[in-house]
Amino acid sequence: VACATAIPNDAFIVEYVGEIPQEVDALKRPDRCYLVELKSKSLWDESMSVFIDAAKCGNESRFITH
């Protein structure tokens, strides 16, 4: 993926879309090429992870991660 012009810092480029599996299922997948983990903390300092797997139902954004 290439861009013909400069991209400003913090600019929105494209939404990363895909299946949202449970953490247990996501970590068992043999092909994790398009699996992205988003980590966050709650108000109570509990860490959480959300996984997005674009392997079977993603868009062009899945090619940017490589």
The full DSSP string for 14-62 is -----B---HHHHHH-S--TTEEEEEEE-TTS-EEEEEEE-TTT--GGG
Taking the whole predicted model, whether its pTM rises above 0.75 is answered as no
Closest CA to 37 of 9, 56, 65, 60: 65
Percent of the chain with pLDDT over 90: 45
Q: Which residue has the higher pLDDT, 66 or 59?
A: 59
Closest CA to 48 of 37, 62, 33, 32: 37
